[in-house]
Amino acid sequence: METNILILEDEIIIARSIKLHLETNGYAAEMATSPEEAMKLLEQQSFDLVLSDINLRHAIDGISFAKQFIPERTPVVFLTAYSDLQTLQKAELVMPYAYLLKPFHKEQLLLTINLSIAHARKKVLPSSIAINGNNEEITLSAREIEVVQLVAQGKTTTEIAHQLCISPETVATHRKKITRKTKCKNVVELIALAVDKGWL
């Protein structure tokens, strides 16, 4: 089942760019350019994470929207061009999982989303046993942990190979070993386990 993300961003070009990037990386994503659109989407389906701009050009801002309409257990990541203390203090009332300051890199977006969802799921799951389905000790090599960290950043097999100066085939082998050892079914489960194990 795909991880489903709601994007609330009133600048349509930015919203479309984020949606495309998420879908390219295996996420399901819905975009809303107003709080009203976002409310309708929240009524129609459930989301694993809400990515919301703080400074919406509407009667209600992203912080107030999150406080009033987003389900308590759904992690929120705020997008903002402002990092002033007053804005951040107001946002803290919603207890967001993270902030992304505009402009941000696409890798930073993926890493933030992966970690936020992983931390949210870790709160629900009692331990990594619930993720792995057994009590086996999981031991990854230093190189395998490097691969996990780069996967969490949204890197492709080719990009990981280039960064680690190894062949794509070697990266693919590492990824197969990681999947076999961890028994994780997808990237989100892997990131959740990595957070739990302290690999990130």
Per-residue pLDDT of 34-61, as tens digits, reads: 999 999 999 999 999 999 999 888 888 9
Task: Please report the pLDDT score of residue 177 as a whole number.
Answer: 93
| Structural tokens at position 150 | 């780069």
Burial state string for 6-17 with b = 16 or more CB within 10 A and e = fewer than 16: bbbbbeeebbee
Q: Which of 64, 67, 70, 17 is nearest to 47 (CA)?
A: 70
Class of domain 4-124: alpha beta
Task: Please report the pLDDT score of residue 115 as a whole number.
Answer: 83
Q: Residues spanned by CATH 1.10.10.10 within the chain?
A: 129-197
Cβ contact 7:15 at 8 Å? yes
Residues 117-161 have pLDDT tens digits of 887 876 544 333 333 444 457 788 888 988 998 888 888 899 899
Task: Please report the pLDDT score of residue 65 as a whole number.
Answer: 93
- pTM of the full predicted structure? 0.66
Residues 172-198 have pLDDT tens digits of 999 999 999 988 888 878 887 888 777
Residues 56-111 have pLDDT tens digits of 888 889 999 999 999 888 999 999 887 777 777 888 888 888 888 888 888 888 88
Q: List the beta strands (DSSP E) in the chain.
A: 4-8, 28-32, 49-53, 76-80, 98-101
| Structural tokens at position 5 | 């993300």
Task: Please report the pLDDT score of residue 123 as a whole number.
Answer: 59
Question: Which CATH number, 1.10.10.10, 1.10.3430.10, 1.10.240.10, 2.40.50.100, labels domain 129-197?
Answer: 1.10.10.10
Secondary structure of residue 49 in the 3-state scheme? strand
What is the rounded distance in angstroms from the CA atom of residue 87 to the CA atom of residue 99? 11
Q: Residues spanned by CATH 3.40.50.2300 within the chain?
A: 4-124
